[in-house]
Amino acid sequence: MKRKAIFQAVSIAILAFAASAASAQSNVTIYGLIDANIGYTNNSDASKSSVFKVNSGGMNTSRLGFRGTEDLGGGLKTVWQLESGVILDTGAADGDIFGRQANVGLQGDFGRVVAGRSYSTSYDFILPFDPMGYAPQYSWATSAGTTGARKDGMLTGTSNMIKYQFDGDGFKVGATYGLGEVAGDTTASAKYSLAASMTSGPFSAVAVYDQVNGAPATNGNIDKAKTIHLAGSYQIDAAKLFLAYRNYKKTLASGATDLRSDLFWAGVNYQLTPEWILTGVYYYQDIKNLPAGTDADPRMAVVRARYALSKRTDLYIAGAYAKASNNKLVGVSRDDAGFGSSQNAATVGIQHRF
């Protein structure tokens, strides 16, 4: 583990030096986001105790990245990106060294196509329609709040992928294909995402489909998780309203009952002053295909206030309350388990972007 950490640190240092040296010859940018907060959560362990913690990532996960372009002429250019997650409270790497982004490709009048690792088309297209912006504290847009293996979420980070996007005048389309790389079977472990969105004046809308296939089971079948997203937003003066829906269905290789759910969220971002943005969101997941009295049907209400100290630095305070039915477990965070049928949480933090 020590050897891996040293390798990661040295690799980042070398890339930073190379980026600065190359900046005179091509467009290379070093960028990042640093987000830390102090948070309170109840029902945080099996004894149902409360906890105060310093957390990394309240509004957004912390990261360090490198991206660049090279002009090839005729409107064509090379594009590339390397991005590493950072756990700010410990200084550790968050996953693999470039587990967030590691891709290269071309961009021109035809759009943009990259290969490697990146976020899926689903992730990219739904992000503008979550008032919380996929905040680790506290958004359920990428998954939901039931604790355990079942999250019924969208396709997010994708490896071994080819991704395409075209931005037009008021509309855009995109597609992702993550190769399963299973010998003799092109469908096993493969991932797919298709999306289209449009904007007309104050109104925006998006439609997204994705599918995640599992590895081959002993009977030769594979699990298949499919989601459909529909979302819209509308700007009314200082308020932006959001409404979104996700249908999730997972068919199992074993032939057991399908896993199904619907997730809804509605919210608002309100620009109170040039410095203050207020956010309120309600998430609700309707779990289906379970015997009566056994579904969790979790829901969560979130409020957040964000104050801009500058163009790059914000202070924020947020609070959330989550509740599940039938004594099932629920958590306010998509990453941390909850140990009760309800959970309260609050956080205050600072974020800087460079």
Tell me, what's the pLDDT at 103? 98
Do you find a cis peptide bond into 138, omega within 30 degrees of 0?
Answer: yes
Pick the CATH number of 2-353 from 2.40.160.10, 2.30.40.10, 1.20.1250.20, 3.20.20.70: 2.40.160.10
Burial class (CB in 10 A: 0-12, 13-18, 19+), 139: buried
Query: Which residues have CB under 8 Å from 120's CB, separation 6+?
Result: 154, 155, 156, 157, 158, 161, 163, 176, 178, 191, 193, 210
Task: Return the amino acid letter for 12.
Answer: I
Distance CA 84, CA 33 (A): 11
Tokens linked to 125 = 């297209």
Which residue's structure tokens are 């829901």?
Answer: 299
In the three-class reduction of DSSP (H, G, I as helix; E, B as strand; rest coil), residue 11 is classed as: helix
Nearest-angstrom CA–CA distance, 159 and 171: 27
253: nearest Cα among 297, 209, 187:
187
What are the structure tokens assigned to 241, written together? 């309203």
Q: What does the DSSP assignment read for 140-151?
A: -SSS-SB-SS--
| Residue 266 amino acid letter | A
Encoded tokens for 97: 């060294």
Confidence (pLDDT) at 13: 52
Closest CA to 237 of 287, 211, 202: 202
Q: How much is the pLDDT for 9?
A: 54
Question: pLDDT value at position 144?
Answer: 82
Q: Give the model's pLDDT for residue 25.
A: 59
Q: Quote the pLDDT of residue 147.
A: 64
Low-confidence ranges of the chain (pLDDT < 70): 1-25, 146-149
pTM equals 0.91
Q: In 57-187, at which residue ranges do the beta strands (DSSP E only) sit?
A: 63-73, 76-87, 92-94, 101-108, 111-119, 157-167, 171-178
pLDDT tens by residue, 77-125: 999 999 999 999 999 999 999 999 999 999 999 999 999 999 999 999 9
